Amino acid sequence: MLSFLSPGALWALPLAGLPVLLHLLFIRRAPRRSFSDLTLLREAHARALSAGRLRQWLLLLLRCLALLALVAAAARPVLHPRGASAAGAEEGLDVLILLDSSWSMRAEEAGRPRFERAVSVGLSFLRLLRPADRVAVASFSQGLDGELAFSPDARFAGEALARLRPGWKSTALAPALESAYAFLGRGEAHRRRAVLLLSDDSRHLLASLPSSGLRGIPGYDSRTLLLGLRWSQELSNAGIKEAAPASAGRSSVLVRSESFGKAPVSTSLDLWLRGRRVEQRALSLSEGASLSEIQLPSSNETELFGRLELRPDALPADDSWHFVLKVQPSPRVLYLHGGPDSLAAGRGGYFLRKLLSEEGRGFDAASGAEPGRMAYRLDAADMGRLSRLRLEDYSVVVLDDFQSVPPEVAEPLKRHVLRGGGLWIWAGDRLEEGGLESLADLLPGRLTGAYAPASGGLRADQAPASGPRGAFHWEDFDLANIAFGRRWGLEPSAEARVWLRDGGGAPLLAQKDFGRGRVLLWAASFDLARTNIALKPVFSALADTALSHLSAFTGERLWRCVRVGEPFERVWDGAQTAPARVEVESPDGRRTALVVRDRRVLYTQTREPGIYRMNLLGGSVQDESIEERFAVNADRSGDEGDLRPASVPWPQLRPEALREDFLLAVYGREARTLVLGLALLFLALEAVLIYPWRRT
């Protein structure tokens, strides 16, 4: 089928008859003159007349055809491929340029990201459009990234295209095409419509399409021509698919790497912590996924942050995985005593210090072994030095070996518990009756007097059977052999909860919540002169459970990682003091100030992967560092890293032959060169006919 890109030039077609008009205007009759007999001359003239007239008519025809070919060339004739319609070509083209901004477009081909090359192709494409054409520009990833509108001119569209940048979301083509069909469908029906898809045309691009293909997209219009790009190089890629803690309570990371392509990929997996590479492991990846477990080094830091990194390849965007592992800090315990020999051998303070500071004394309920020291750090101080201590530096205060608690000691202890701290009171031999009167409002019960129990033993009532070292059963310990030489009577309050009782069923250990903190009251001593519990394995289990309950310490390792576009929420629980505001700094240096409301803060501007830093401002934050972090990674739940080319159901344009492929796909092949060639052929034949050939 034939059409013309400049049909206005066809008004010059009558010029093709100019040679005939000139021939008629300049024709002259021969003058008549008297002459002798011309019989022989007439016979010769008659023989040459037929050949001369044929030559003249051929010259006239060739000149007309040459002019006709020149006029047709000026009208830019186009040969349309089979099935293409020429209707509406003269009315102009409505074209929508969709630029893929997903992170797979960061793949590098010949040392240049495909996104930059796609922008260059789009700018070159704009130079092919005619004044009657209209163009709109938009980017897409998970659907369109903005509103659609036709640009005033191609220059404006080029500026808009050059301002677009690649993002960090995965590709979802179907929603973008649905919006494109709806937008172009609102234009004039007689104009031609096309969508230029500047994407990598990889396999993941088709994942969002319905099973029926393009026809299954709502609003699909078969009259809208869809065009894509054809890349000259096929890229292979390997990347980190996912990383997560290997198991609860262990500082190790399970890394899932993935390779796309049949050939095995030799690479390395590096572990970086705080900007320093601490481990490198060689990997050989075949097609599919591979699992690796990386053990994080032991550290006293409350945060372990860094990245896991593969050797860079064609797509560096999925070669790194950022992580932040929040490690709950070891609680500090203050042993506050009132006697000079409270830490002497055989006293309760001695056993507590030995339990928390020496190796080999910790209780492991899972294996029954004693794997090492507990997670608590113990300081000891005389009660008289309390005014020189910062109680906010301690999670738990253990009060032991005192006669009474004076008001100047009781008030700081109350404020400590109200703010979320823990208090464990040991009622020892030196305690006087009424010695705890200053702390009466926070106690879980009232002490009634000292006595010697008639029977020994210990039994659990409502005591938790778990701590940072895991769950256990009180029945696993020989509680019947626990002996008490002297203890205090305990009358629990209504809001108290009894943890342990003695062999006769009398309450021995009770707990109560006070403000944001918790209080435990042990109605006995841990001195060896009054009980043998400190020599039994149950003592480490009891201390671990009590201290973890009072300090809210679980030994938890919290994985602080979200995906690009997902909000990060930080919540402060009752055992922590929330700051007044938080300032978040993104990897590119952008700072955002947030106000803490209801003990929580929500950050939504996770636009790029990396480590985000949070500065906690306005107030003392117990058991938290002033600076915290969280990690953001691109969404890798799909096969965005699969760069292998797909069999796409639309024509593809070669960047190096953009004009030719565009004209062929949209308008057909332009035949102006062919028509000009015919004009030259006609002129050459004319030159042959008018040449004065002579016989030799």
Identify the residue with better confidence: 70 or 398: 398
Q: Which residue has the higher pLDDT, 407 or 621?
A: 407
- Range name among 291-295, 369-373, 381-385 with the lowest pLDDT average: 369-373
CB 444 within 8 A of CB 496: yes
How far apart (Å, rounded) are the C-alpha atoms in residues 544 and 366?
14
| Distance between CA atoms of residues 173 and 393, nearest Å | 55
Q: How far is CA 429 from CA 334, 435, 449, in A?
A: 20, 12, 11
Rounded CA separation 669/79 (Å) = 5
Whether the predicted pLDDT of 510 surpasses 50: yes
Tell me what the mean pLDDT of segment 23-43 comes to: 66
CA pair distance 563, 162, nearest whole angstrom: 27
Question: Mean pLDDT across the stretch 398-418?
Answer: 93
Digit-coded pLDDT (tens) for 127-171: 988 888 999 999 999 889 888 999 998 999 999 999 999 999 999
CA triple 605-269-636, angle to 5 deg: 35
- Residue 82 — pLDDT band, cuts 50, 70, 90? low
pLDDT of the residue at 286: 82
Mean pLDDT over 425-438 rounds to: 91
Residue 88: what pLDDT? 43
Residue among 575, 571, 573, 434 at smallest CA distance from 518 = 575
- Lowest mean pLDDT of 555-559, 597-601, 614-618, name the range: 555-559
Q: Which two tokens stand for residue 694?
A: 């002579």
pLDDT attached to residue 48: 56
Q: Which pLDDT score, from 0 to 100, does residue 592 have?
A: 95
User: Which residue in the block uniquely carries the two structure tokens 């950022």?
Assistant: 322
Q: Which residues pair with 273 in a beta bridge?
A: 276, 306
d(CA 172, CA 161): 20
Instruction: Look at 59-68, 235-244, 334-343, 420-429 and tell me which has the smallest mean pLDDT.
Output: 59-68
Predicted confidence (pLDDT) at residue 29 exceeds the cutoff of 70 = no
The residue that leads in pLDDT, 214 or 44, is 214
The answer to whether the pTM exceeds 0.75 is: no
In the three-class reduction of DSSP (H, G, I as helix; E, B as strand; rest coil), residue 350 is classed as helix
Residue type, 556: E
Write out the two tokens for 389.
Answer: 């201590």
Cα–Cα distances (Å) from 504 to 455, 486, 501, in that order, read 6, 14, 8
Half-sphere exposure at residue 235, Cβ-oriented, CA atoms within 13 angstroms: 27
pLDDT at position 235 = 86
Is the pLDDT score of 246 beyond 90?
A: no
- Secondary structure letter of residue 469 according to DSSP: T
Report angle CA 321, 569, 105 to the nearest 5 degrees: 35
Q: Using DSSP, state whether 514 is helix, strand or coil.
A: strand
Q: Are 655 and 117 in contact (CB under 8 A)?
A: yes
DSSP notation for 163-222: H----SS--BHHHHHHHHHHHHHTS-TTSEEEEEEES--BGGGGTTS-TTGGGGSTT--T
pLDDT tens digits along 314-360: 999 999 999 998 877 778 899 999 888 999 999 999 999 998 875 43
Residue 1: count other Cβ atoms within 10 Å of its Cβ.
Answer: 13
Q: What is the radius of gyration, based on Cα positions, of the chain? A: 45
CA–CA–CA angle 564, 566, 568 (5° rounding)? 110
Contacts of 151 by beta carbon, 8 Å cutoff, 6+ apart:
134, 135, 136, 137, 157, 160
Residue 529 near residue 485, CB atoms below 8 Å? yes
Whole-number Cα distances in Å, 541 to 350, 463, 472: 17, 11, 9
Contacts of 124 (CB under 8 A, 6+ apart): 655, 658
- The mean pLDDT value for 90-105 works out to 89
Kindly report which listed range (62-71, 363-372, 397-406, 537-546) carries the lowest average pLDDT score.
Answer: 363-372
